Structure 1
Amino acid sequence: MHITAHDLVFLIPMALVGVIAMGSIPVTAKYLRISCRTIGALIGALVAVLVLEALPMLI
Structure 2
Amino acid sequence: MSMHIARHSFGNISGDKIPIQMLQKLYRHSSVATTMLYQANFMRRDTDSALDKVLNF
When normalised by structure 1's length, the TM-score is: 0.37
From the two aligned structures, give the one with the greater helix fraction: 1
Higher relative contact order (CA 8 A, sep 6+): 1
